[in-house]
Amino acid sequence: MSLHRVGGLVLLVCAAACGMKPEQYYQQMRPNLIKGNYEAAAEFIEKNKTKLYSEDNRLLFYMDKGMVLSLGKKYAESNAMLEKAKTAAEDLWTESISANALALVTTDNSLPYQGEDFEKVMLHFLAAWNYMGLGDYDGARVEARQVTNKLQLYANKYAEQEGTQLYKDDAFARWLAGKLAEADGGVEGLNDAWIDYKKAIAVYETDYAQRYGTPVPDMLVQDSLRVLEALGPDFRDDYNKVRGRFPKAAYMKQQDTRAVGEIVLLHMNGEAPYKIDKFWDAQAATEWIRVAYPEFVEKPKRIAKTRIVPVEGVAGETELAQNVTAIAIQNLNDHMGRIKAKAIARSVAKYLASKAGQAAGAELYKKNEGAGAALFLASTIFGVASAAAEEADKRSWITLPAQIWMGRTYVPPGKQKLRLQFLDASGSVVQSEELEADVQPGKTTFVTYRTYL
């Protein structure tokens, strides 16, 4: 931070390095997250509510606070915070004209943070996570459905503004909604489950495989075949189509699941990507100006999959269901044209303001040496300060995971113990954890877990 006095003018300049960046803030909270001391993490967020979040960053406050409350198993409190986040996200989606005008002469950081598309739909994932923790599968299913509804809303809006919006459906949300419908049982539940599974397969085979490096999970294929077989002859054609595309898929038949309980593990692993400044040059008149734009940086991960080992029952392994980091990177890139256009307009506006001030100062200098010199120097300093302060908006939901994995095992009914063995790419165990689950015959029990490796 530096102070410049020119004649009667005072210019306050804060360079790009001024203040704590989101990643620096996260690193202060990270030790408590890794230790599982979520109460301390929540206290840290609350303590820094004014300093690091402010009114313009209230959405990030609700997101981070909602996450750590959920991880601390305070599911109802977390959902209350997430509802505030959803409301704030909706309110902030339509940018105010005055705020955008301010951003043209400062940076996007002067605007309230509206959240990336993927972050706003992750609010519903986390809410579903909470409802499953509360045993409210109907509530979880509603939240899973909201993911796809919200993405369709965004797709329609961006089609008007940009002509394209590629993150328009979510395969994992489709599967989760289907799995929760299947868990309800009955013909209607099975029929609803197949509708979601069918859409999930289609999205995994296209967008997810091509853009996010996430192929169709075997677990989704198994669920689809089991449900289609249970639905009977009317769905024989659908069954044959799925079986024809995935001939090696093995699954437990619906009638065989009635004597055992199914445990489904949803595992959030790794740490969300963070944004850095990237720059390119744009030409204004005969001069080149510096333009900043954000880019997500992926964080390294050690855990490659998880082995689920029950005391009784058959061991299973997880598979990638949602590559949050890949979605974040692609989602940002999808809108880069709009981001660049806005950044260039901002930098050109700063440049023109500086040049206009210098020209006016030079003209005044002929009539009044002091005032003209002051204006000329002030405009020059403004131009230099603007270039130094040129900075992209690097705010993001920093407590998100990098990936979500899913897996299952079938076990006898009753209280069951299982060990989670977290494996690296070579198959070595890098971390393990023991959990308990209360399993009922013919029912699905969802178990959630969070790691940071």
List, for residues 311-353, the tens digit of each pLDDT value.
Answer: 888 899 999 999 999 999 998 988 777 677 676 666 666 666 5
379 secondary structure, DSSP code: H
Q: What is the pLDDT of residue 68?
A: 97
pLDDT of residue 360: 53
pLDDT class of 367 with cuts at 50, 70, 90: low
Backbone Cα Rg of the chain: 26
Pairing verdict, β 274-284 and 261-269 = unpaired
Q: Does residue 451 register a pLDDT over 90?
A: yes
- Residue 97 and residue 55: Cα distance in Å, rounded? 18
The reported pTM is 0.84
Whether residue 103 has pLDDT greater than 80: no
Q: How far is CA 109 from the centre of its chain?
A: 19
Integer Cα distance of 247 and 253 in angstroms: 16
Backbone angles phi, psi at 423, to 5 degrees: -110, 145
CA nearest 398: which of 284, 277, 296? Answer: 296
Place of tokens 């008007």: 160
| pLDDT per residue as tens digits for the range 104-161 | 545 666 788 889 999 999 999 999 999 999 999 999 999 999 999 999 888 887 765 5
pLDDT of 377 over the 70 cut: no
Q: How confident is the model at residue 50 (pLDDT cuts 50, 70, 90)?
A: confident
Query: Residue 17 gets which letter from DSSP?
Result: T
Question: 381 pLDDT exceeds 70?
Answer: no
